[in-house]
A and B are shown apart, each in its own frame.
Chain A
Amino acid sequence: MIIRFLEQVGAYFILLRKVFSRPEKPYVYYKQTMHEMVFLGLNSVGIISIISFFMGAVITLQTAYNTENPIYPTYLIGLGCRDSILLEFSSTITGLILAGKVGSSIASEIGTMRVTEQIDALETMGVNSASYLILPKIIATLLFNPVLTLISISVGIVGGWIAGTSAGVITSQDYIYGIQYAFIPYYVTYAIIKTLFFAFIIATVSAYHGYRIQGGSLEVGQASTKAVVHSSILILLFNVILTQLLLS
């Protein structure tokens, strides 16, 4: 089992070496990257916004119900909501959601291309298929996922404000004061750094599983599942490592 694991890790890094070789035609790669930014990034704005909105709302309500004590000023609800979203939810939860949505899409797209011989067709033409197919996806996710995280932070905070004021657990003034209180700008940097790592994991691990498929449609499904599971586990692992490194 250990040998198999090491083989997989080795194959992953060999694939990465192939991916990061010099592009044949930068213009073609640029066009492909723009396409991937729309497909993998822009198309995820909706789901990220919806989830972040409700996430912010629930965090606010739970913080409010768990701090029902006259000692605590109510603006702490806003502060709690802001810090929870900034430090953890927007980067990690967004990462996990994107591992499901984007990761499975990347694995199944590349996997289908493998089983229908489209990758063989690229190789026969002399195109570096790994680089052509995977590099634009990596660049697109690295560029767009931080934008998604910023959207998630903003929408989450707005969600908390709407839920908190609608439920009457906090006034609008207190919430706005709370989200500005003791603000540490580095937390945004921290969230973006985590997002960049997670984006790289999602794109490369999913592409690796899709690229190495052998078989047919059944294997495409299996690769898609593996892509989501392995990306999610790595995201959680790197979440711990990065938190220790960046906040200690």
Chain B
Amino acid sequence: MIRVENLNKAFNGKPVLSDISVTFEAGMTNLIIGRSGSGKTVLLKSVVGLHEIDNGEIWYDEKLFNRLEFNEKKEIRKKIGMLFQGSALFDSRTVEENVRFPLDMFTDQSLEEKTERVNFCLDRVNIKNANKLFPSEISGGMKKRVAIARAIALNPLYLFCDEPNSGLDPLTAILIDELIKEITEEYSMTTIVNTHDMNSVMKIGEKIVFLSDGVKCWEGSNKEILDSDCSALNDFVFANALAKQLRKSLK
């Protein structure tokens, strides 16, 4: 479980996140949604520790993460897997080397053991016969899956995904969503997904936090989102023509 309390973050004096308090549950797919520029990525990166927060508290289970020393933070980070918007695979390494990287850095396993684990992770995300390919030689969807395989290589307790569906076709996006949900349940991870894709929201949003202009406006589940009385959320949810039509017909 990850708990955020009264988090504030500003860049050059301009507030980006204001007084955010939220609990991300373990074994559940937690979604942060909102329009572009609403502060989703800043919140996610603040929780991971890539941005120093101005004030507030970030708790990883019973540990106050933002007050820990570098080495203590490092111990928690070993339990974190993260999928970045652009996949962030290492260009100079093959698919296999990318997935093996956390194992090389943080385990004393033999090469055979590491290779076995790499193959298991790649198999888990349905990547076959691509071990020796470089990131530039595989598709966007494959890159995302390899990034997930790398993120789960060390059996993380916390998984963060920043816009996992961006740039993917709808079918591949659904596959990625399903994969994230399956992995979350399988390993009982605390998963936080940043998205503005309504398909993801309806499919995997067990817990949803809606941000608007850096402020938390709404919290609930995918079952409650359509009945919300938050106007900013309704504008976001029913933004596209199909959703508007559907809402009209339901009324």
Contact = CB atoms under 8 A, between A and B. Distances in A.
A124 B78 CA distance: 8
- The range of chain B's interface size is 20 to 34
Contact of A124 (B80, B85, B106): B80
Contacts of B49: 123-124
B105 A121 contact: no
A125 B78 contact: yes
Contact of A117 (B76, B86, B160): B86
Nearest to A112: B91
B50 A120 contact: yes
A175 to B, nearest CB: 45
A135 to B, nearest CB: 14
B82 A25 contact: no
Nearest to A127: B105
A91 to B, nearest CB: 30
Interface in A74-127: 112-113, 116-118, 120-121, 123-127
A24 B73 CA distance: 14
B243 interface: no
A28 interface: yes
A28 B84 CA distance: 24
Contact of B104 (A28, A113, A121): A28
A121 B84 contact: yes
B106 A126 contact: yes
A124 B77 contact: yes
Contacts, number: 56
A118 B90 contact: yes
A74 to B, nearest CB: 52
Contact of A126 (B45, B78, B89): B78
B48 interface: yes
B86 A125 contact: no
Interface string A110-152: 0011001110110111110000000000000000000000000
Given A126-B74, A126-B75, A126-B77, A120 B105 contact: no
B64 interface: no
Contacts of A124: 48-50, 77, 80, 82, 160
Nearest to B107: A25
A112 B73 CA distance: 26
Contacts of A118: 88-91
A170 to B, nearest CB: 48
B105 A25 contact: yes
B106 A120 contact: no
B220 interface: no
A125 B90 contact: no
A109 to B, nearest CB: 8
B96 to A, nearest CB: 15
A125 B80 contact: yes
Interface string B41-54: 00001001110000
A125 B77 contact: yes
A105 to B, nearest CB: 12
B85 A117 contact: yes
Contact of B86 (A24, A116, A127): A116
Interface string A1-36: 000000000000000000000001100100000000
Given A120-B50, A120-B82, A124-B80, 6 more contacts: A28-B104, A116-B91, A120-B88, A124-B77, A125-B105, A126-B78
